[in-house]
Structure 1
Amino acid sequence: MTDPVFLFTSESVSEGHPDKVCDRVSDEVVDLYFREAIKAGYDTSRVRVACETAATTNQIALLGEMRGPDTITPDMIEDVVRAAVKDIGYEQDGFHWENLKLSNWLHGQSEDIAAGVDEGTGTYTEEGAGDQGIMFGYASDETDELMPAPISYSHRILKRMAELRHSGERPEFEPDAKSQVTMLYSNGKPIGVDAVVVSTQHQDGLSAADVRELVRPVVKDILPDGWFPQEDKFYVNPTGKFVIGGPDGDAGLTGRKIIVDTYGGSAPHGGGAFSGKDPTKVDRSAAYAARYLAKNVVAAGLAKRCTLQLSYAIGVARPLSINVNLHDTANTDERMLEKRLMEVMDLSPRGIRTALGLNKPIFARTAAYGHFGRKPDADGGFAWEKTDLVDQLKDLVG
C-alpha cells in the first residue's frame, strides 16, 4: 500500500549535457539517412541506423552500422555533426563545433542482423523486430500532458533556460545544465514542491549568488503559484563555480540518460536507449507505441495511471506479450483492455512504423527534454503523443 504522503524526485539534463550532445548527434545521423533516402527514392523501410556517439574534449567519435542510399558521404555526416554542436551552442576552447576532431567509424550493417529483420529473409519471412527486449509505456493524469509531474517540471526548467540562452536574453547561461525536482504527493497527487536543484554552466566571472538569482525567476515562472520551495531547499550550483562543462568537463556517450528520456523513474524501463536507432529497433519504436497506448488509455478515462509492457524476439514480428497495469485506478478490466489494444493497433515493427509514421527525419528533436509529454508536430514528429484512439477505447469504461 502506497503511503498517503510521500516525496518523489526526477531529474533532467539539458541539450548541452555531454550525454545529450551524443544523443543529438546520433539522432542527426538517423535523420540524415531518412532525408537522403526520401530524396534518392530509396525505400525508407530499408533504412538501418545504429549510431553510437562518444564525446570528450574537442573530439567526437561515431561508431555503429548503417544501411541506406549510397548518396550519403562522410562529408555529409561530418556536416550534420558539426551543425548539431553549433546549434546546441558550443563555441568554447575545450569544445567547439568548428575545431573539434571527428572520427567516423560507421560501417555497413551486419548481414546476420539484416536477415532477421528484412521481410522475406531469415527464419521467419515476415519483417521481424530488430532485437529482443522489453519496453514500457506510462501515462498519469497528474499533468495536462499525462506525464509524471517531477520529470515534467524538471524538463520545463531546463528548456526555458535554453530558450533564454538561445534568444540572447540570458547569455550568462552556457549549454551544460541539470535540474532536479522533488515533489510532495498526497494520496497519489502532487500537491507541492519540496526541493529544486539546478546546476548550470555559466560565463566566467559570475558568483554563485549571481547564478542563483538568474535561475530563480525561471523556476518561479515554471512552477505553479505557491510551489516554490523554501530557500534552504532551493539549490543552485551547489559546488559553486561551473564554467568548464560539456564534453570538455566530462565525457559523453549516447544512451546514458534513459530515465531522463522517459518517465523520470516513475515507471519501469526495459533498459534500451532510443537515440541513434532507426525505428526497426523496437527499443525505440515499441517504447513509443507503448506510450501511445498508455496515454490513450488514460485520456479515454479508463484509468488515472497506466503502465504497459511489450516484449519482442529478434526476427519475430508479433510481440510475445502485452501486460497492462492500471494501478488500482481502473474503470475497466485489464485483461480485456490488453486484447482491445492489440486490436486497435498493429504492434509488429512495421505496424508501429506505419501507424506512427516513423520512417521520416523526425528524431533529432527528441534528443533533449524528453521523448514523451511533447506536443505532436505537424510533420509527424512526436506522433506517439496523439490521443486519437480515445473514441475506440471509451466503450470499455465500466
Structure 2
Amino acid sequence: MRKTSEWVSLGHPDKMADYISSFILDRYLERDPMTRYALEVQIKDNFVTLGGEITSQANFTEDELTLFVKIAVAQIGYTKCYQNTWGAENTICDQDLVVTHHIGQQSPDIAQGVDASGWGDQGIFWGMAVNDPTTNFMPKDHYLARKIGQQLYDIKYAGLDIKTQVTLFDNEPEEIVVAIPMLPKHSEQDIANAVQFCCNGKTNYKLVVNGTGKFVKHGPIGDCGTTGRKLAVDFYGGNCRIGGGSPWTKDGSKADLTLNLLAREKALNFLKKHSDIQEVHCSIACRIGSPEIIVSLYDGNLNELTSYRETVNPAAIIDRFFLRKPRFAQLCRNGLLS
C-alpha cells in the first residue's frame, strides 16, 4: 500500500498567513484571555490584508496591528538581510509591508450561543492516532514529511519557502519530493544529506529536488498566501478525513480548533486502551448553542468501534488545552498536533 503526505514550512505563503493571524491573536490574549477572534490574512508581494471579527477588551490601533504583522514576518525569517541575499525581485522583507484592515466585531447571533456555554457553530471534526510512539502516534508519511521540511527550514541552508512530500510503500519511503529555493551556491547534495539524516541514514528512495529545475522567486512574491489553505498539512496528510475549517485564525471558543483537538485526544486515549488496534479515527459533531456532541470512533477501515453522545462544557475544553494562553504562534510554528 502506498500513502502520501506533504508538509510546508512557515516560510510558505499560506503558512505565513496562518502565522501572522496566530501572532496577532497572542497579542490580544496577553491583554484579554476572553478575546473572541476570527481574523483571516492574505499576503501577496508586499501587501497584507487583515479581515475578520475581533471582540476584546484589548484595543489595538491599526498602526499597532501593522507592527505585529511586520514582527511576525520578521520572525519567520523574511528580513532585510534575507532579501538582500535573494534580491527584492525574488522575495519580500518585513520592512516593506503595506497592511490594510477590515475588522469588525463578532456577530451577536454567534456570541449568544457561545455565551450560553454552547458551541458557536455546527460542524463535524476528525482526529486520528496511529499505534506508533516513534512517530508521535501520527501517520508515518506525514511525520516524515514534517521532519524533513522542519529540518531544512531550521538549518537555514537555502530558502525559507519549503514544501516536502513523502510517499511510503509498505511503510517505507519510496519517493521524497523537496521544493526549496536555491541559489547557484546551494547544492542538491547538501539537500540530499539533510533528507538522509531525517531518514536515519537510509537512501533507498527516489529523491526529487525542485522538479521544475529552478526555484528562486519565492514567498509571497511567487505565490499569494491565504489563511486556512493547508489543512492536510495541519492535520494528518492523506490519512484522515478533514472536518471543520482551519484551526488557525481563531480563538479557543471556535469548534474548528477545540473539537479537532478533542477528536485527536479521544482517538489517542482509545488507542492506548486498545493496543491491539493499529489505527483509530474519531469524528465529533456539534451544533450551535448546545454543549452536546456526538462522538464516533472507527478503526483504520472506518468500521465503527463505538459511538455515543456526550455533554462537554466548551470552557472546560478550552482550559484543558490552555487555549486562553498566548501560545498560538508557537502552535503554528511547531505544528498543531506536535
Does 2:21 correspond to 1:36? no
Residue 79 of structure 1 and its aligned partner are, at CA, apart by 2.1
Aligned to 2:323: 358
Aligned to 1:216: 192
Does 2:115 correspond to 1:118? yes
| Cα distance between partner residues in 1 of 2:187 and 2:222 | 19
Aligned to 1:139: 129
Aligned to 1:196: 176
TM-align CA RMSD: 2.0
Give 3-state SS (helix, strand or coil) of 2:239's partner. coil
1:143-162 equivalences in 2 (<5 Å): 143-144=133-134, 145-162=136-153
Aligned to 2:57: 69
1:93-112 equivalences in 2 (<5 Å): 93=88, 94-112=91-109
Contact 2:9–2:161 (CA under 8 A) maintained in structure 1: yes
Q: Which of 205, 230, 234 does residue 184 from structure 2 map onto?
A: 205
Change (3 A) 1:327 1:107: same
Contact 1:15–1:369 (CA under 8 A) maintained in structure 2: no
Deviant stretches of 4+, over 4 Å:
none
Contact 1:36–1:72 (CA under 8 A) maintained in structure 2: no
Q: Which of 63, 77, 90 does residue 89 from structure 1 map onto?
A: 77
| Cα distance between partner residues in 1 of 2:197 and 2:274 | 30
Identity %: 31
TM-score by length of 2: 0.91
Q: Which of 248, 268, 289 does residue 315 from structure 1 map onto?
A: 289
| Cα distance between partner residues in 1 of 2:204 and 2:26 | 40
| Cα distance between partner residues in 2 of 1:211 and 1:200 | 11
Give structure 2 stretches of 5+ with no counterpart.
Answer: none
TM-score by length of 1: 0.78
Give 3-state SS (helix, strand or coil) of 2:292's partner. coil
Residue 249 of structure 1 and its aligned partner are, at CA, apart by 0.3
Letter in 2 for 1:8: K
Give 3-state SS (helix, strand or coil) of 2:159's partner. strand
Superposed CA deviations along residues 280-318 of structure 1, whole A, max 9, x for unmatched, are 110110000111121122233443211000011122222
Contact 2:28–2:58 (CA under 8 A) maintained in structure 1: no
Q: Which of 219, 228, 236 does residue 263 from structure 1 map onto?
A: 236
Aligned to 1:249: 222
Aligned to 2:280: 306
| Cα distance between partner residues in 1 of 2:263 and 2:297 | 10
Aligned residues: 327
Residue 76 of structure 1 and its aligned partner are, at CA, apart by 2.7
Does 2:161 correspond to 1:176? yes
| Cα distance between partner residues in 2 of 1:129 and 1:225 | 47
| Cα distance between partner residues in 2 of 1:236 and 1:223 | 16
Give structure 1 stretches of 5+ with no counterpart.
Answer: 1-5, 38-43, 120-126, 375-398
Residue 225 of structure 1 and its aligned partner are, at CA, apart by 4.0
Superposed CA deviations along residues 306-355 of structure 1, whole A, max 9, x for unmatched, are 10000111222221x1101023799xx933xx55x95xxx6332231122
